[in-house]
Every structure is written in structure tokens, then in C-alpha cells.
Amino acid sequence: MSEQLAKELQLEEENAAFPEVVAVAEGPFITGENIDTSSDLMLAQMLQMEFDREYDAQLRREEKKINGDSKVSISFENYRKVHPYDSDSSEDEVDWQDTRHDPYRADKPTTTPRKGFIGKGKDITTKHDEVVCGRKNTARMENFAPEFQVGDGIGMDLKLSNQVFNALKQHAYSEERRSARLHEKKEHSTAEKAVDPKTRLLLYKMVNAGMLETITGCISTGKESVVFHAYGGNATEDKVIPPECAIKVFKTTLNEFKNRDKYIKDDYRFKDRFSKLNPRKIIRMWAEKEMHNLTRMQNAGIPCPQVVILKKHVLVMSFIGQDQVPAPKLKDVTLSSEDMKKAYYQILNMMQQLYKQCNLVHADLSEYNMLWHDGKVWLIDVSQSVEPTHPHGLEFLFRDCKNVSQFFQKGGVAEALNERELFNAVSGLNITADNEVDFQAEIEALEKMNEDHVQNHGKKLSVFSSDGDPPIYDE
Ligand code: ADP
Ligand code: MG
């Protein structure tokens, strides 16, 4: 009973979905009169979809067979018939008309002799002959893009009318363009979690070159970067590869970086280049900036990752942690009060070194970008770090100081300076304002003074004038 009901329901559903199909099957189609062709398009589309699905499945099987377990794989992706599922195809119908190529123009001169006819007397065949034209059209389908399957029309002696040929040709063009666009879209976007094909290739190259042994997995996915863990490979003549590496891939989706423009745009080291670059190159500059800043820090002896290599937007550095486990962020670790105090003085010291020796302000310093490893604090994430004379450099420093002071004051370090004291201790400046608003105003006044100096003398003040060296705080 329920089976019967199910059958009936299904029939009803089918009738609702394809009313014409049923009508055609029962009606005029059999008699050959008044052929209703209104559902032909739908049928053709369904058949095409079916064909495409089978074609893709076969392609996947072949791709799998060729690649096997190889580390480097060949993708057949471009040959897939992905378009039936592509929704944003509405503009295509007009798109092909934009091309300089006139799809209605014959591609090659016809083989009909100049006089325009072959034969003699009664057997004369002109270039307008339907059969000749039809065969010629079939042969011309060979010129369509290779992924456009035209079948063996010539073998079947298929004769295509001009109208059908033109429609097919138009279709072939728009398909070609659509596939190219889809491909491009895919190539140029970075997937949320994984990396885009170009980045993957870069990583594979590093593994193939023996620089990295294996890339084990993802440590972190942030808004602007994805960080992977890898085991280091063989040392080269000029490079020692650490046993464990962190690979920071700067994301090539551009949106997230827009609001970070100010860090790099006003950094004079990158200023000249910034305006001339496209967004893709700007992202490489973030990676480059991180590399330079890490190198400066390394030279000053500040605990931080050591740069291994920079390739485009991929920065390889030493891994802070052990056996694939990254060192915890300061925010995630519970330290004894003794260690907490030790960490505080160490950070105070590092901030001074960063400012004085490296001529840098971290600009994103907080318990999120400090790792606790080997009984000490390590600084990471310095792509946005700037020089103190950056138009907003002192503001960034003040923000860093606020984060550090708050964290350690909350963490029970009684000795922790407040943010204003910390700012003065790091910068060596002596801003006396005793409240945040005035303090901030004085900082901005200093920055403006520096900018005016740049305007008038074309040169930045090397350091803001201070009353001698700041006292070095130590335990
Ligand atoms: P983001 O700009 O995404 O915050 P980070 O440089 O802070 O980039 O890296 C994100 C996370 O990846 C860090 O919080 C840290 O856990 C991990 N990480 C980054 N670099 C290293 C490294 N050299 N060693 C170990 N872990 C790292
Ligand atoms: Mg970070």
C-alpha cells in the first residue's frame, strides 16, 4: 500500500517537474506531426549535465591513476566541465560579443575555387550548396578549443547548417571564456584554511629542494596569515636549517590587509615602493618586513624566531616550541609569580632593546604575540613593526605599553610600571602628563613635530630628543 502511494507521489512529482516531457512522449512526437520542441532544450541540458558528470568522474579517475602517491601531482582541474554548476554565468551571453573575434566570420578561406563553383553543366555545385557547406561547417568544429568535445562529425558525414554551426561556435567561445575565468578565480584566491595552488607549489619546491623535510600541519590560521610546522631538511653551504621550522604564509586575500595600510604606507623604508605596487606585491612586502624586523631583533640578541628563508609571501623561520608543539602564548600559560616577575623584566628589557638597538616599535605587542619557551619570553609577529619616527610610531608604542602594563598588573606583578611610566622608560622621553588624554596629546604633538621637520628638511629626526639614556631596568 505504502509502496503504491510512494509510486503515485513520485509520479506526481515528476509530472510537476517535467510536464512537457510527458506530453511529448505521449503525443505528437510519435506521429511526427506538430513536433513540440519546447522541452528539447531542457532535455539537451539534462543530457549534457549527465555527460559532464560522467566526464568529470572519468577525469578524476585518470588524475588519480597518474598521480598515485606522488608528492607532486598533476591537476586535471582545468579540463573539468565545472560550468553547469557555476551560478554567476549570466553575463556570458553578452560577453562573447565583446571579443574582437567575430564568431560569425569564417576562420579559414574555403576550399571552393575562386570562381565559386565546382563541376560542369548539370553537376555544378556552388559554394552555397547545403551539403558542401554542411560538411565544411562540421570540419571547422575542429578549430574549437581542445576541451570542447565535438565528436566524430566528419566520420559520420554530419552536415551542420550555418545556423547550428554559428550557435555552436558562439557557445564554444563563451564556454572557453567562462572556464578561463573560473580557473583564474580559483588560482588567485587563497582558501580559508588551506593555501592556494601557487603557495602549495612554493612549499613543494622547498620540500623537493631538501630544505624542508616534511610539512606536518597547520599551527594557526589567522586573519592575515596561516602558520605551518615543518621539520627542517638538509643544511646547505651557506645555511643551517633548524630542526623544526615555522612557515608563515601571508594570506593573499587582500581585504584583511587594507586596514593595515598605515603601518607600511608611512614606513619610509617602503614608502617609495608602496605607491607603485599592486596589492599582491604589497603582501609580499609584509613578509619582507617581518623578515627584516626579525633579523634586526636577532642581531640585537632579542629572543625571536630566526629567519631561514623568504620566498614571495612565504616566510620560513625557526620554530619556537618542540616536537611539533608550539610554545604557548603568554596569555595561555600559567606562570608562577616568580616567573611572571621574571617575564615582566625581560619584556621591559626587550622593549628597550627593540627601541634603542633595533630602532623599532613592535606595534602589536601583547600577551598574544609573546611565547613562553625555555623559561623565557620570545617575541613573534613583527610584520607590522615600525621605526619610532613613523608618523604613528609613538602612538603604537603607547598602545604596546598599555597592553603590557595591564597584563602584568592584572597578573599580580607589583613592580609593573603603569603605561605612561613604561612608555617613558622604553623611549627615554620624559612626558610628564599624569593622565592618559594629555599623555596621548603630547605624543601626537611630538609626532607632528617630527612630520613638520620632515616637511621642512626632508629628513626624519633620527631619534626623538630625550633626556639622556633611559634607565635600564633589570631584576
Ligand atoms: P598572526 O599575524 O596571524 O597573528 P603570528 O606571527 O602571530 O601571525 O602567528 C600566529 C601563531 O602562529 C602564533 O600565535 C603562534 O602560536 C604561531 N607561531 C608563529 N610563528 C611561530 C614560530 N616561529 N614558532 C612557533 N609558533 C609560531
Ligand atoms: Mg599574532
The pLDDT of residue 276: 59
The active-site residue out of 364, 400, 434, 469 is 364
Ligand 1 within 6 A of CB of 305: yes
**Does the beta carbon of 225 lie inside 6 Å of ligand 1?**
yes
pLDDT of residue 184: 62
For ligand 1, mutation pick of 195, 227, 247 (most atoms within 8 Å of CB):
227
Question: What's the pLDDT score for residue 49?
Answer: 78
Per-residue pLDDT of the chain (475 residues; tens, 9 = 90+): 566 666 676 666 655 554 444 333 333 333 344 455 556 777 777 787 778 888 888 888 888 888 887 777 777 777 776 544 333 333 333 333 333 443 444 444 445 666 677 777 777 777 777 888 888 888 887 777 766 777 777 777 888 888 888 888 888 888 777 777 776 665 554 444 458 888 999 999 999 999 999 999 999 998 889 999 999 998 877 888 999 999 999 987 655 555 566 566 666 666 656 555 677 788 899 999 999 999 999 999 999 999 999 999 999 999 999 999 999 999 999 999 999 999 999 999 999 999 999 999 999 999 999 999 999 999 999 999 999 999 999 999 999 999 999 999 999 999 999 999 999 999 999 999 999 999 999 999 999 999 888 888 876 665 566 544 444 444 4
Go through the domains of the chain in sequence order and give each one's CATH number: 3-67 (no CATH), 123-188 (no CATH), 194-326 (3.30.200.20), 328-460 (1.10.510.10)
What torsion, rounded to 10 degrees, do the Cα atoms 362, 289, 306, 399 define?
Answer: 10
Give 250's strand partners.
225
Ligand 1 close to Cβ of residue 196 (< 6 A): no
**Predicted TM-score (pTM) of this structure:** 0.61
Nearest ligand for residue 315 CA: 1
Please report the pLDDT score of residue 101 as a whole number.
43
Give distance in angstroms: CA of 227 to centre of ligand 1: 6
Using CA positions, which residue lies closest to atom 5 of ligand 1? Answer: 381
- Residue 153 beta carbon below 6 angstroms from any ligand 1 atom: no
Ligand 1, atom 11, lies closest to the CA of 220
Cell digits of residue 416 = 609593573
- CB 268, CB 460: distance < 8 Å: yes
Q: Is the CB of 199 under 6 A from ligand 1?
A: no
**Does ligand 1 have an atom closer than 6 angstroms to the CB of 245?**
no
Question: What integer pLDDT is reported at residue 185 of this predicted model?
Answer: 60
**Torsion, Cα of 147, 151, 153, 156 (10° steps):** 170
| Cα separation, 156 vs 404, whole angstroms | 80
333 lines ligand 1 (CB under 6 A): no
440 C-alpha to center of ligand 2: Å? Answer: 25
Least distant ligand from the CA of 325: 1
Task: Examine the residue annotation and report whether 196 is marked as an active-site residue of this protein.
Answer: no
Nearest CA to ligand 1 atom 12: 220
Number of residues in the chain: 475
CB 244 within 8 A of CB 321: yes
Closest alpha carbon to 430 in 475, 467, 472, 388: 467
How far away, in angstroms, is 276 Cα from ligand 1 center?
30
> What is the whole-number distance in angstroms between the Cα of residue 135 and the centre of ligand 1?
65
Mutational pocket test of ligand 1: of 193, 219, 383, the residue with most ligand atoms within 8 Å of the beta carbon: 219
**Are the beta carbons of 319 and 246 closer than 8 angstroms?**
yes
What pLDDT, on the 0 to 100 scale, is given for residue 111? 58
pLDDT value of position 104 = 40
Whose Cα sits closest to atom 18 in ligand 1?
227
Residue 288 · residue 310 · CB < 8 Å? yes
Q: Is 249 in the pocket of ligand 1 (CB under 6 A)?
A: no
> Which atom number of ligand 1 is nearest to the Cα of residue 380?
6
